[in-house]
Structure 1
Amino acid sequence: MTNTADQSPLGKTSAYRTDYAPELLFPIPRQGKRDELGLSGTLPFFGVDIWNAYEISWLNQRGKPQVAIARITFPADSPNIIESKSFKLYLNSFNQTRLDSVAALKALLQQDLSAAAGGNVHIILTQPEEFGMVEMGELDGLLLDRLDIDVDHYSPSPEILKAALDEEPVEEKLVSHLLKSNCLVTGQPDWASVQIHYAGPQIDQESLLRYLIGFREHNEFHEQCVERIFVDILRQCQPQQLAVYARYTRRGGLDINPWRSNFSTAQKPLNLRGARQ
């Protein structure tokens, strides 16, 4: 049976296991939402979903607590996303679990998350002695939020996107901190900054900002919102090259940062934590 979002632990009372329990992970197929976008067969993008987990703890063999920060990278072509509350419950299941080493933790995370996602997941663990090396930074690009616009529509409307299709192409990066969507199941707000890097007909900035603000009452998971933004811009504005990267604020010790691109020379995400994260 295919898992659906409404069957997930989201919005339900959950017991917090403190013993290792990989069965808590709840994968949801990506294809259902991609079908809504008319995506089948070869995808118009490649990319990754970068998860940062700040609340990872376990016990060493002497019972002493250990902590780390994890960067977990899921390929966008993996069949499944993992529902975030189930991810948190899974990570908490290590809290009273004794492990031989950091390497043993990494091996379990690699095994369990790759199995749930249906694709090879990459994991980097940062230990306390390295915490001072974790960098912060903001998405670079021209800030759309400087525009003084009227807005009266708060659901995605791709038809409002405009580009100068008859003029010389440009290459630019545009950034907004005004992306807000809502959880597909609970309706809780999700906040993000987003970067649009493209080459092609110049996109009308006011229409793009209105379009992004239009997600304000839209219910979808982070990964699904970014793919919708990518597809809508690609179809409406016809760029030859396009990359969309969103940095979402954390919830339950996790932040999710999807990146989708259709050109191999695009700068890969640096995973710099923003001020709001």
Structure 2
Amino acid sequence: MHPAAEHSPLGKASEYIAVYTPGLLFPIPRAGKWAELGVQGDALPWQGVDVWNCYELSWLLPSGKPVVAVAEFRIPAGSPNIIESKSFKLYLNSLNQSPFASVADVQACLERDLSAAAGAPVQVSVKTLAQAQAEGIAAVPGQCIDALDIQVNAYEHPSATQLRAGEGEVSEALHSHLLKSNCPVTGQPDWGTVVVEYQGKPLDHASFLAYVVSFRQHSDFHEQCVERIFLDLQALLQPQRLSVYARYVRRGGLDINPCRSTHAQAWGNARLARQ
């Protein structure tokens, strides 16, 4: 368990507060997990963002009439803190019986509070249900490797030693829907799709699929799972370019989608079938 998470509301019975309470947000420093991976905050080997989507956002108009909406949050991958997910849900629920004069006021409130918790500017976009519906469901880029016939006997300790690469250089994109890890506090499963896009030594697809499956009983937060995959592939492939991101299935109205890359890029937010 992450030491800071012991003091969070995660895994504990919590009273749902329906009146605006920004103090519910619980930041967890990234530095400890970065140290486990052998990286430091002032010299991160990646760029990126954590894209969160909220499907249970609601507040009151001054008339007392409720509004429902969908929200997108973009937390910089280099921010000092992640925001513990249950505290995030409790905070969002605290808007349910709180009046706001406009959508702009809601968005400004969310940006202010989340930026304070993350320790870096957080971008917020509040969407109507019609806007969210118009965005539709996207296909996953690259080749799906899930049909490969592999033997698996490791489910808890993902290791770079499982991965193999060939000679030469390729440019390709591939993905797997078999990513699963567990919450390090509650043990609840986190289901996701992982996507890798790179230019470098050819990655052996079967070894990568077995590596993805080895996260199945591994306990860690979404962000650290993606960062571990990024670092292991970077060391193996010696790539000119590498991007790793995961689209996780929502829990409690929130999904988390960490994105890490060797280079700056505009990250989309294409919702997948399980999201």
Q: Which moved more, 1:236-245 or 1:40-49?
A: 236-245
1:124-182 alpha-carbon deviations (Å, 9 max, x no partner)? 11023434322211221111112011101112021111111xx3210000100000000
Deviation, 1:5, is: 1.3
Structure-2 change in CA distance of 1:228 and 1:219 (3 Å): same
- Give 1:75's aligned residue: 76
Deviation, 1:37, is: 0.5
TM-score calculated relative to the size of structure 1: 0.95
- Give 1:85's aligned residue: 86
Alignment partner of 1:201 is 2:218: no
- Give 1:269's aligned residue: 267
| Distance of 2:49 and 2:225 partners within structure 1 | 14
- Give 1:102's aligned residue: 103
| Distance of 1:3 and 1:214 partners within structure 2 | 24
1:160 to 148, 159, 162: 162
- Give 2:32's aligned residue: 32
For 1:114, the aligned partner's letter is: S
1:222-233 aligned within 5 A: 222-233=222-233
1:116-131 aligned within 5 A: 116-131=117-132
For 1:149, the aligned partner's letter is: I
Q: Which moved more, 1:231-240 or 1:184-193?
A: 231-240
Q: How many residues were matched structurally? A: 272
| Distance of 2:178 and 2:78 partners within structure 1 | 28
SS in 2 for 1:62: coil
SS in 2 for 1:197: strand
| Distance of 1:258 and 1:128 partners within structure 2 | 24
Deviation, 1:229, is: 0.6
- How high is the sequence identity, in percent, across the aligned residues? 55
For 2:164, the aligned partner's letter is: K
| Distance of 2:139 and 2:80 partners within structure 1 | 30
Deviation, 1:224, is: 0.7
| Distance of 1:53 and 1:85 partners within structure 2 | 12
Structure 1 runs, 4 residues or longer, greater than 3 Å off = none
Deviation, 1:29, is: 0.5
| Distance of 1:104 and 1:93 partners within structure 2 | 15
- Give 1:254's aligned residue: 254
Structure 2: any 5+ residue segments left out of the alignment? none
Q: Which moved more, 1:80-89 or 1:148-157?
A: 148-157
